[in-house]
Structure 1
Amino acid sequence: MIRLVALLSCFGLICSSEPFNYKVNNGRVIGGSDATPNTWKWQVSLQLSYGDGTFNHICGGSIVDSSYIMTAAHCILSSDASQYRVVVGEYSLFEYEGSELFSSVEAIFVHPDWSGNVAHGNDIALMKLAKPIYDNGHVEIANLPYPNQMLPHGFTCYITGWGLMDYIGSVPDKLQEAPLGVVEHAVCSQPEWWGSLAQKTMVCAGGDGVTSGCQGDSGGPLNCLTDGVWRVHGVVSYGPAYQCNLPFKPTVFTRVSSFLDWMYSVMDQAN
């Protein structure tokens, strides 16, 4: 889910029964299209079980180490690691295609300054997997940006995920992708944009009223081709409530380059 602000937050899961022992939240990137299979190999489907033997896709994520995924702190709906399942190598949430690897979660690390309010920032978490991910040809560890790296205004990145395609909610099966132009902080922090809700530890992208992330995309990556390499520069954090693709209200991401020291510290200590 993407945390929705301006009429704050929606956590409802709208699920439909599916085979293969898991369900899918209604969703799609708004204004997106089917991604080419086997392209965004670091994309994760984070799934939660409510004790009935099925799993619900609740958020996206990125593989940042063979034993860790990165997601949004607001995606952590339970502190019980045993309730989660991570699926990598996923493309169609409705089919088992043989490319998927499934892992339970051993430990959850939420940023210590996360307050539960996306406007305060620090919306980032790491999850340690119970077993390391291996390269089956369909998964890859994400490249990350340089410390404190910032992208110029108008730079085109791609959001990927299984979030809502509209505020009514339609259900695609395939991973979606959509281009979003970066909105620099000096613009995004203006009153007609996100104002004081936009911080320098965030990345704004989109805001054209057509293309955006939405509920179900939270925790997923903002993929940007920098220095000839695809890097995950952002973690989907929040957007406007009820209608995700509002003009001057771009999708807001946690800026990964601002949190690298914390991430590496957690992974080093936990290992």
Structure 2
Amino acid sequence: MSLLLPTCIIVCFSKGLICCNEPFNYRVNNGRVIGGSDAKPNTWKWQVSLQLDSYNEGSFGHICGGSIVDSFYILTAAHCIISSDVSQYRVAVGEYSLFEFDGSEQFTSVETIIVHPDWNGDLAKGNDIALLKLANPIYDNGYVEIANLPYADQMLPHGFTCYITGWGLMDYNGSVPDKLQEAPLDVVEHAVCSQPEWWGSIALKTMLCAGGDGVISGCQGDSGGPLNCLTDGVWRVHGVVSYGPAGVCNQPFKPTVFTRVSSFLHWMYSVMDQRLEIRQKSSVL
């Protein structure tokens, strides 16, 4: 089984990826997380729209999702990083309708991109995770919130219901939603997801599978976004959208695959603590 390399603008090879698509800066209707529905405004406050200015013309379009994990940091997928030029990116938080100004949005430029050191562009090897350090901090305007994270190495039981959120396509040739979408996905435990008729050996323990019923799934444009799970009475971001089947996204036995956040907490905290320390020292000088 061959997987996609993350040269993501529109390129989706066989058997592959929920990739970052052509920037969504045009108006179309009726698309959604497949099988999903409009989220209630001001619900998933940590949801991010990662946007790209492909031609440095000042016109940004949605390419991926993400999650607020600190006032200065955004969590997303490594394969969403399709340019090393930080000036081409911006982050939209407090966003709900991509094509209307809701008055709740904050738009912030990216200062630094930190991709996991073991990410090599091969989704089958995992490590599809990245942090974006923002040029300016996100402030609390009532429409944003820092995501709660799972415990280190926490794994969810088979059949546990979580929610995927994002502005992804309905299918490979589908349309783009204007409003944030949400959809329930049931966790598929590693022992099942790694079976040959499912994702087989490319489903690693550092990944989290959810869905696979042939009805509900993530799709292009959802990459990097959160899998939100209510554990211990708190909504936590347990996954980062990584890959799924090429073509029609909601295929039976091919659940959406997420980077398992609980497997990367030590790396995340080490990066954020280091950068925070550098920023604090700089402010003293």
Q: Do the structures match in fold with TM over 0.5?
A: yes
- 1:132 matched to 2:137? The reply is yes
Aligned residues: 266
Match of 1:156 among 161, 173, 177: 161
Kindly indicate whether the alpha-carbon contact (under 8 Å) linking 1:106 and 1:129 is maintained by their aligned counterparts in 2.
Answer: yes
User: Matched residues in 2 for 1:16 and 1:105: separation?
Assistant: 19
Structure 2 CA distance for partners of 1:254 and 1:4, relative to 1, 3 Å: farther
Return structure 1 stretches of 4+ with deviation > 6 angstroms: none
1:64-213 equivalence runs, <5 A: 64-213=69-218
Structure 2 CA distance for partners of 1:5 and 1:183, relative to 1, 3 Å: farther
Kindly indicate whether the alpha-carbon contact (under 8 Å) linking 2:20 and 2:63 is maintained by their aligned counterparts in 1.
Answer: no
Kindly indicate whether the alpha-carbon contact (under 8 Å) linking 1:44 and 1:87 is maintained by their aligned counterparts in 2.
Answer: yes
Q: Which moved more, 1:25-34 or 1:221-230?
A: 25-34
Q: Normalization by structure 2: what TM-score? A: 0.89
Give the drift of 1:174.
0.2
- Which ranges in structure 1 are unaligned for 5 or more consecutive residues? 19-23
**Residue in structure 2 matched with residue 21 of structure 1 by the alignment:** none
**Residue in structure 1 matched with residue 36 of structure 2 by the alignment:** 32
**Residue in structure 1 matched with residue 4 of structure 2 by the alignment:** none
Match of 1:266 among 263, 271, 276: 271
- Counterpart of 2:260, as a letter, is R
Q: Which moved more, 1:7-16 or 1:180-189?
A: 7-16
Q: Normalization by structure 1: what TM-score? A: 0.94
User: Matched residues in 2 for 1:185 and 1:6: separation?
Assistant: 23
Kindly indicate whether the alpha-carbon contact (under 8 Å) linking 1:44 and 1:90 is maintained by their aligned counterparts in 2.
Answer: yes
**Residue in structure 2 matched with residue 13 of structure 1 by the alignment:** 22
User: 1:23-80 CA distances to partner (integer Å, 9 max, x unpaired)?
Assistant: x999521010000000000000000002122001000000000000000000000111
Give the drift of 1:12.
4.7
User: 1:87-128 CA distances to partner (integer Å, 9 max, x unpaired)?
Assistant: 000000010010000100000000000010111100000000
Give the drift of 1:17.
3.7
Give the drift of 1:15.
4.4
User: Matched residues in 2 for 1:234 and 1:12: separation?
Assistant: 20
- Calculate the aligned-residue CA RMSD, in Å: 1.9
Give the drift of 1:81.
1.1
Kindly indicate whether the alpha-carbon contact (under 8 Å) linking 1:4 and 1:239 is maintained by their aligned counterparts in 2.
Answer: no
Structure 2 CA distance for partners of 1:192 and 1:30, relative to 1, 3 Å: same
- Which ranges in structure 2 are unaligned for 5 or more consecutive residues? 1-7, 277-285
User: Matched residues in 2 for 1:52 and 1:25: separation?
Assistant: 25
**Residue in structure 1 matched with residue 279 of structure 2 by the alignment:** none
User: 1:160-214 CA distances to partner (integer Å, 9 max, x unpaired)?
Assistant: 0000112221122100000000000000000000000100000000000000000
More strand by share: 1
Kindly indicate whether the alpha-carbon contact (under 8 Å) linking 2:227 and 2:240 is maintained by their aligned counterparts in 1.
Answer: yes
